Amino acid sequence: MTAQHESPDVFVSPIPRTINAIGPALTEGKRAEFSREVLAAEQGAQLDEVMNRWWMEAMLDRAPGRERRGRDARAGRGLVPLPGRVEDGG
């Protein structure tokens, strides 16, 4: 098993889980879809689900080099081996 290796000092500060914070943090293409979904969602569990999903997407959009890392991972570049599976002691 392999994973991409990134510097541990890469840090993205969190954004508030509000419509006014999530929308602007998304890429332009995703912002319209977020607006459609959040405006159509009913208050409660449905709206919470939309907000949580798009908040995670907004946080990922802010991560430096996200697109490059995705391309590299798909191409198999910059991968490092991961330790083997840990066996259950019981």
The pLDDT tens digits for 26-77 are 988 899 999 999 999 999 999 999 999 999 999 888 877 777 877 888 888 8
Q: What pLDDT does residue 85 have?
A: 65
pLDDT surpasses 60 at 2: no
Contact 50, 37 (CB under 8 A): yes
Q: What pLDDT does residue 27 have?
A: 87
Backbone angles phi, psi at 79, to 5 degrees: -85, 150
Spans of all domains in the chain: 15-63
CB atoms within 10 A of CB 50: 20
Give the span between the Cα atoms of 40 and 46, in whole angstroms.
9
- List of E strands, 15-90: 79-81
Question: Which two three-digit tokens encode residue 41?
Answer: 């969602």
Question: Which two three-digit tokens encode residue 61?
Answer: 């959009």
3-state secondary structure of 44: coil
Q: What pLDDT does residue 32 have?
A: 95
